[in-house]
Structure 1
Amino acid sequence: MAGTRKPTKQLVADNRYPKRRGAGGAPKVSASKKTSRSPKQKPKGNMITRFIKWLLRLIWKLIWAVLWRTGLTIALLVCLAIGYVWFSLPPVGELLDGRARGSVTLLDYQDEIFAWRGDQFGGVINAKTVSPHLKNAVVATEDKRFYRHFGLSPRGIASAVRINLSEGRGPLSGHGGSTITQQSAKLLCLGVPYDQNRWASERAYEADCRQGSLWRKVKEAIYALAMEAKYSKDDILTIYLNRAFLGAGARGFEAAAQRYFGRSAADVSPAEAAMLAGLLVAPTRYAPTNNLTRSQNRAGVIIGLMEEQSYLSAQEAAAARQKPAVLSPAAEANAGGYFADWVMESGPLFFTRNTTEDVKIKTTLDPTIQRAAEEALEYVFKDLVKTGSEAQAAIVVMSADGAVRAMVGGRKLKVSGAFNRATQALRQTGSAFKPFVYATALELGYSPLDMLEDSPLTLTIPGSGDWSPKNYSEEFLGQVTLSEALTKSLNIPAVRLSEAVGRENVRIVAADFGLGTDLAEGPAIALGVSEATLIDMVGAYAGIL
């Protein structure tokens, strides 16, 4: 028992050390565990296809490397450009009135407006205070996603390009797909102010601002993005509402509302708002003062857009269609165009054509007399002149104090800037000049009862030979008084009297009455061979009164 020992378990510590290699100590390797390698897969395709695939992968890697670097560079440059424009943009208030010149509002003798000249501004309006109908009409017409986009509308641009191509135009010709923000940038001419040394006229400046080249479109997009970053949506809409041209010299919706409807843009009805918004596509063509029916039809389209976009209910839209907008009495009359042009031409330049401020000029025009003069001229050409006749006429009505009360300068009455036969056409005065010959005689002491000889007369004119005036009746009355000779408009007594008092004295007296321009030198001056305008002759006769 004592010689027997129990087998001891191997201590855990013995497991920490590997068994020594030696006799019988080499580790055994299981014969079943053999190292196995997976067979190498053969490349698919032949050498040519493998080369093409490798080349394509290389090209794609190169293109991708170039594209993302180029894209990143362009993005950085665009961000820098937007940042530069952002810092250069002034406060909104400085962008609302961009006119280089002022406007002239003409009032009649009762202080009622009858004409406008120059670029009418009307005053600043705000997108938050303007009539909501007008605000909605503009957005519905020009940019229905205005409050949702970031200044550019890729969908709108793509649609415009598609329409242009379908209509046979270039992708950038015709429809522009511009947002209100882009249009505002264009109205601001991308921040470039008008310089009379660079552009021949404001018209040339505006044409340059509207050019549609690709580079211009890029700059316009950058400017629009900067505006979106700088201003609120209502600020941008405010700029647009104040800068847009709406025909008839109206700059901005306030001026247009006053020009066409005689009220503020804050008070326009849905029908009036639709008519104003309809002008944006073609201001001159759709101006209600040019063609009211065409303008009303265009407004009907805008009302449809407002209804479609839920700015108007079906009942409101129907009411607006049934009662379309009409012109104010002053705009509808459109009277005194020739008179207004004459005031602008004859007034001081700094106060009329070259004014840099908005001015009002009170005139002597009487609208009642003006309407009567226009109706009289219409009657003459409608009932007394043959159809197709090219005859013309002019009317000037003047009071004894020299105040012009009415003026019509030609057959066409609704005009602006037309040739004015009342103030510009020179015509021989004829027998209308004779009273100034007799006035000269009275000035020198003659009596209306003094006698003149009405008999054949021949005068020798140096360099021209003999000249023998005749009466219209080709008869001779013998001895006549000054009063009788003037009453019967006899030619020979007028010439005799002119020669007696002296032609130079006749010219002096005529000049005192306002007829001193290029009077004839010879004896025929007494018969009115000199030329004068109608307004000068009327003014001279007013001086007699």
Structure 2
Amino acid sequence: MRPLINWGGTLVLWGVLISGVILGYFAYTLPDISGINVIEKRPSLVFQTEKGVRFATYGDLYGNMLRPDEIPENMKNAVMAVEDSHFYDHFGVNPFSLVRAMWRNYQAGRVVEGGSTITQQLAKNLFLNPDRTLQRKIREVLLAFWLEANYSKDEILALYLNRMYFGSGTYGIDAAARKYFSKPARDLTIAEAAMLAGLLKAPTYYAPTANLDRAQQRSTVVIRRMEAEEFITPATANALVKAPATLRNAGSNFRNVRYFSDWVVSEVRSYIGRTEEDLIVRTTLDLDLQTNAEQSLESQLKTNSKKYNVSQAALITMTPTGAVKAMVGGRNYARSSFNRAVSAQRQPGSVFKTVVYTAGFEKGRAPDDVYMDGPVNIGGWKPHNYSRRYDGAMSLREAYSRSINTIAVKLTEDIGRGAVASTARKMGLTGKIPTHPSISLGTNEVSLVEMTSAYAVIANGGYGVLPYGVLEIKTASGKVLYQRHGSGLGRQLSARTVNHMRSIMTTAIQSGTGRNANPGFPAAGKTGTTQDYRDAWFIGFTPSLVTGVWFGNDDGSATKKVTGSNLPALAWRDFMKASTGASDRIAFAREKEPLSDSSIWQKIIQTFGSSSTPARSGSGTSNPVPGVPEYPTGATDRP
């Protein structure tokens, strides 16, 4: 026995020595832990609607750092129940939990359970990387011992709840409570506390803004654990499971609102440059209109996507002065963040004819001027109409409402292609507009936001429009860094042109290609379809909203006959009917006979507000439409 004892003692001694050296090495190579109370974070951007409702955030959001006595007991209990029920009983490491986790992982053949305590999780998240290695685990244990030696249990739990990630860019329970439930952490209910505690396992996967049902299912697990640990009674647990927490003002109903906020981010940077301060940005977004926009597009895509071989759609709506109220840049932001309302350059087709006719009226033409619908041959280029037939003499009003290609070409050749290109630039189109013969048929590429803002110039009485989404930028402390005061572009179109365009655009909806877009109250607009049905558009306006809709495929492939008069027109109609206020709903839907264009626009001009200068007829090559009020030529007041 003596040799056995001698050798055994020697081995134990060497084992202790080697273990000491190893632990010493790992202790020596621990990361710097002096900055445990220092928070390093990315500057945050919080986006609000005009009414102050938060709908999107960027960067890292931290709420108030709460003292142990400021954290509600139900929040502490929920976290301990699901993460570390023996938190107050161990010394930083729970050997029983480690052994149990190792055994279950061995049985499963993979990592299915962790044995880390709350103290270990805090150590890992504050000081270490997430690598699953033995070296990291040893350092994690050593750091857990250090935390337990230097902080009380209450302080460790407070540090944990103040610093852990809760998804959607939020760190700490106060930020998470404000993000998901619009309240400080001290006001959390048991159901809300259970949902937050459930996020800790996988914050991105369980984030309620991404999948509320999944988050609620996870909170049920937490509630049952709270019941098992006797933090709540079975009766309370059953009631909570039946009525899980729901979100409040967290943007959960707006899966595509990030298209708008992404666009606004670049606008913020252009106004104030880069900054390390947390910012609050008040925007033009209207969440009700955003809901209507998403629903109107999805309704058409869900019903008709396969039938028409169309996979994408976009919508943007703004006031006549350019304040963007809603934006949908695609069918699903989570699958594709590419913004088709802003970044996609597509051929506008016949919606560009609005620019052509505007240029014509600026050159003195008028709605009743007659042109011949007949064959055209310009250097071998022979455009034809959608119907493949010619109908002879007709007025510009009829040609516009029926979207006759040949007359748009003849009007362009009559006034000059340069005049059309110049008018396009005045109306806000910034891309290249080559003056080739097909310019009148919308073969140049434009974005939906620019084309819609061009229509806004007509809607607002002829004034230039710069689409915008930012109203105010201020720091988290309240210092105002930027406040919008107007674009100052001034008048771009004559009053006579504006009135003529409104008149013929009303006809297009009342009796032309845009009949499917008729919302049942005064509106004006135009359809557009490109070659091989690759792009389909409808853009139009009422006195309060200018809305553009596009349908197509990202790869430019042909659809199965999607035209501006079907899916885009229907989506536009649905959106406008749901979004237009009472002041715009001038009752004529119940009229036995449709109102004339002149009557409609009489009421629309009244809705806009009358000019201080008495209206008078404009000049032109033919008489204006009887009864259509006109803005005084050269007027400086803005409607």
Give the TM-score range, shorter chain: 0.7 to 0.9
Secondary structure of 2:45's aligned partner = strand
Deviation at 1:336, TM superposition (A): 5.3
2:35 — aligned with what?
A: 90
The residue correspondences of 1:289-368 to structure 2 (distance < 5 A) are: 289-328=209-248, 330-334=250-254, 337-344=257-264, 346-349=266-269, 356-368=276-288
Q: Does 1:136 align with 2:74?
A: no
Cα offsets for 1:329-387 (capped at 9, x unmatched): 55442365255344345424488997643322222222332333333334434556667
Deviation at 1:226, TM superposition (A): 2.4
2:342 — aligned with what?
A: 423
Asked whether the equivalents of residues 375 and 382 of structure 2 are also in contact (C-alpha less than 8 Å), the reply is yes
Cα offsets for 1:380-411 (capped at 9, x unmatched): 34556667954432222222111222223334
2:515 — aligned with what?
A: none
Asked whether the equivalents of residues 338 and 415 of structure 1 are also in contact (C-alpha less than 8 Å), the reply is no
Q: Does 1:112 align with 2:53?
A: yes
Q: Does 1:496 align with 2:410?
A: yes
Secondary structure of 1:361's aligned partner = strand
Name the CA shift for 1:58/1:185 in 2 (closer, same or farther; >3 Å). closer
Name the CA shift for 1:78/1:484 in 2 (closer, same or farther; >3 Å). closer
For 1:367 and 1:335, locate their aligned partners in 2 and report how far apart those are by CA, in whole Å: 12
Deviation at 1:517, TM superposition (A): 1.2
1:178 — aligned with what?
A: 116
Name the CA shift for 1:475/1:425 in 2 (closer, same or farther; >3 Å). same
Asked whether the equivalents of residues 254 and 290 of structure 2 are also in contact (C-alpha less than 8 Å), the reply is no
The residue correspondences of 1:318-467 to structure 2 (distance < 5 A) are: 318-328=238-248, 330-334=250-254, 337-344=257-264, 346-349=266-269, 356-382=276-302, 390-412=310-332, 415=334, 418-448=337-367, 450-460=369-379, 466-467=380-381
For 1:346 and 1:273, locate their aligned partners in 2 and report how far apart those are by CA, in whole Å: 36
The residue correspondences of 1:226-237 to structure 2 (distance < 5 A) are: 226-237=146-157
For 1:445 and 1:264, locate their aligned partners in 2 and report how far apart those are by CA, in whole Å: 63
For 2:427 and 2:270, locate their aligned partners in 1 and report how far apart those are by CA, in whole Å: 28
1:48 — aligned with what?
A: none
Asked whether the equivalents of residues 260 and 328 of structure 2 are also in contact (C-alpha less than 8 Å), the reply is no
Q: Which amino acid aligns with 2:355?
A: F
1:508 — aligned with what?
A: 422
Deviation at 1:526, TM superposition (A): 0.9
Q: Which amino acid aligns with 1:245?
A: Y
Cα offsets for 1:476-512 (capped at 9, x unmatched): 4555554444343322232233234333332232122
Match of 2:169 among 249, 272, 288: 249
Most deviating of 119-128 and 280-289 = 119-128
Secondary structure of 2:313's aligned partner = coil
Deviation at 1:153, TM superposition (A): 2.3
Asked whether the equivalents of residues 369 and 406 of structure 1 are also in contact (C-alpha less than 8 Å), the reply is yes
For 1:74 and 1:365, locate their aligned partners in 2 and report how far apart those are by CA, in whole Å: 59
Q: Which amino acid aligns with 1:150?
A: F
Name the CA shift for 1:527/1:130 in 2 (closer, same or farther; >3 Å). same
Q: Does 1:216 align with 2:124?
A: no
Name the CA shift for 1:68/1:141 in 2 (closer, same or farther; >3 Å). same
Match of 2:10 among 62, 74, 78: 62
2:93 — aligned with what?
A: 152
Secondary structure of 1:406's aligned partner = strand
Secondary structure of 2:62's aligned partner = coil
For 1:512 and 1:325, locate their aligned partners in 2 and report how far apart those are by CA, in whole Å: 52
Q: Which amino acid aligns with 2:354?
A: P
For 1:339 and 1:73, locate their aligned partners in 2 and report how far apart those are by CA, in whole Å: 56
Aligned residues: 459
Deviation at 1:525, TM superposition (A): 0.9
Deviation at 1:467, TM superposition (A): 0.8
Q: Which runs of 5+ in 2 are unaligned?
A: 460-639
Cα offsets for 1:61-111 (capped at 9, x unmatched): 4324423444555566677667x95xx41362x2xx442x23332222322
Match of 2:125 among 178, 187, 205: 187
Secondary structure of 1:532's aligned partner = coil
Secondary structure of 1:260's aligned partner = helix
Name the CA shift for 1:481/1:74 in 2 (closer, same or farther; >3 Å). closer
Name the CA shift for 1:60/1:451 in 2 (closer, same or farther; >3 Å). same
Cα offsets for 1:106-160 (capped at 9, x unmatched): 2223222233344333333333202210011112221222223232222222222
2:541 — aligned with what?
A: none
Secondary structure of 2:453's aligned partner = helix
Cα offsets for 1:259-286 (capped at 9, x unmatched): 2222222111112111111111122332
Deviation at 1:528, TM superposition (A): 0.5
CA RMSD of aligned residues (A): 3.2
Q: Which amino acid aligns with 1:542?
A: A
Q: Which amino acid aligns with 2:360?
A: A
Asked whether the equivalents of residues 341 and 416 of structure 1 are also in contact (C-alpha less than 8 Å), the reply is no
1:123 — aligned with what?
A: 64
Q: Which amino acid aligns with 2:452?
A: V
User: TM-score, normalising length from structure 2?
Assistant: 0.65
Cα offsets for 1:148-189 (capped at 9, x unmatched): 3232222222222222112113xxx45331121221122113
Name the CA shift for 1:501/1:122 in 2 (closer, same or farther; >3 Å). farther
Secondary structure of 1:360's aligned partner = strand
User: TM-score, normalising length from structure 1?
Assistant: 0.75
Deviation at 1:527, TM superposition (A): 0.6
Percent identity between matched residues is: 38
For 1:353 and 1:239, locate their aligned partners in 2 and report how far apart those are by CA, in whole Å: 34
Asked whether the equivalents of residues 68 and 158 of structure 2 are also in contact (C-alpha less than 8 Å), the reply is yes
Most deviating of 396-405 and 325-334 = 325-334
For 2:351 and 2:83, locate their aligned partners in 1 and report how far apart those are by CA, in whole Å: 60
For 1:459 and 1:253, locate their aligned partners in 2 and report how far apart those are by CA, in whole Å: 70
Q: Does 1:537 align with 2:451?
A: yes
Asked whether the equivalents of residues 448 and 482 of structure 1 are also in contact (C-alpha less than 8 Å), the reply is yes
Secondary structure of 2:71's aligned partner = coil
Asked whether the equivalents of residues 394 and 422 of structure 1 are also in contact (C-alpha less than 8 Å), the reply is yes
Most deviating of 441-450 and 301-310 = 441-450
Q: Which amino acid aligns with 1:517?
A: G
For 1:383 and 1:57, locate their aligned partners in 2 and report how far apart those are by CA, in whole Å: 83
Q: Which amino acid aligns with 1:536?
A: E
Cα offsets for 1:41-78 (capped at 9, x unmatched): xxxxxxxxxxxx66545533432442344455556667
